[in-house]
Structure 1
Amino acid sequence: MKKIALVLVGLIAALHFYIAWFEIFAWTSRGPKVFTSMPPELFEPTIQMAANQGFYNAFLAAGLVWSLLIKEEKWQFRIAACFLTFVALAGVGAAVTVAVKSGLPQFVPASIALALLVLSRKQGPSSRS
């Protein structure tokens, strides 16, 4: 179960690196194609705001990658749980302030990974993989 959770952590990190790239480097080129409900003339004036959001997503991804590099099991769990909680809360914030479909892709995988991490710790050291 722990291996599955850590694979999910890696996938969530990759997703957030992609979101960071999108918001920092492709906001005006790809943004209008992705966010069709937003008027196209708003992408250029919001480029700095999107880049700022992109840096936050990059920090989330970096924290998740960092957790994968930690050898000590207790600290790996703590750091992964911390950054997964940040991602899940960002998903809740997006769902409330933007749209549910914006928040779910963050909230659901982070919550599943966090639940799997917690469950793998409760199983005890002999049953962890």
Structure 2
Amino acid sequence: MTISVVLVAIIALLHIYILYLEMFLWATPKGQKAFGTTAQVAQDSKGLAFNQGLYNGFLAAGLIWGIFYPDADVGQHIQLFFLSCVLIAGIVGSLTAKRSILYIQAVPALVAIVAVLMKW
């Protein structure tokens, strides 16, 4: 297993965890702490968070698809596409929601993109 595959898999697992937090723990104390919301805000935005969690699941699914795609070259292109989506989402999230998203989501995606491009 290559370094790039490990990094892509870690990012996929991170997005599965984010899916879980957003879809199922959003209005709990753990979800409120993770996303810096109050009980009222969390309750009011629960539907939006559920939808957002689903999108994170799609990112994870795409990354996993890229890892297991039978043609390694095509698989790397799939990985690069979904890593780019993660990178952009992380940048936008850091500008519009919480600055730490840049370090939790965008920077790891950028590192993985470099690893995939370098074929590490």
**1:34 positional shift:** 2.4
Q: Which residue of 2 aligns with 1:99?
A: 98
Given the two structures, how large is their TM-score scaled by the length of structure 2? 0.92
User: How far did 1:102 drift?
Assistant: 1.9
Question: What is the alpha-carbon distance in structure 2 between the residues aligned to residue 43 and residue 95 of structure 1?
Answer: 19
**Hey, what does 2:67 align to over in structure 1?**
68
Partner Cα distance (1:28, 1:71) in 2 = 40
Q: Distance in 2 between matches of 1:89 and 1:42?
A: 25
2:109 paired with 1:110: yes
Q: Which runs of 4+ in 1 moved over 6 A?
A: none
Question: 1:34 corresponds to which letter in structure 2?
Answer: A
Contact 1:20 1:55 in 2 (8 A): yes
Write out aligned runs for 1:18-37 (5 A): 18-29=17-28, 30-36=30-36
Residue 91 of structure 2 contacts residue 101 of structure 2 at CA under 8 Å; is this kept in 1? Answer: no
Residues paired across the two proteins, number: 119
- Which consecutive unaligned segments of at least 5 residues does structure 2 have? none
Contact 1:22 1:54 in 2 (8 A): yes
CA contact (8 A) 1:90 1:103 kept: no
- In structure 1, C-alpha distance between the alignment counterparts of 2:59 and 2:14, rounded to whole Å: 10
CA distance in structure 2 between the partners assigned to 1:42 and 1:80 by the alignment: 35
Q: What are the residue-to-residue correspondences of 1:50-65 with 2, within 5 Å?
A: 50-65=49-64
| Cα separation, 1, equivalents of 2:17 and 2:35 | 16
Q: Which runs of 5+ in 1 are unaligned?
A: 121-127
Measure how far apart 1:41 and its partner are. 1.3
Greater relative contact order (CA < 8 Å, ≥ 6 in sequence): 1
* Identical residues among aligned pairs (%): 34
Amino acid at match of 2:48: M
Query: What CA distance in whole angstroms lies between the structure 1 residues aligned with 2:35 and 2:53?
Result: 16
Please report the TM-score for the alignment, with normalisation by the length of structure 1: 0.86
Counterpart of 2:15? 16
* Cα shift at 1:35: 3.3
Give the alignment's Cα RMSD to 1 decimal: 1.4
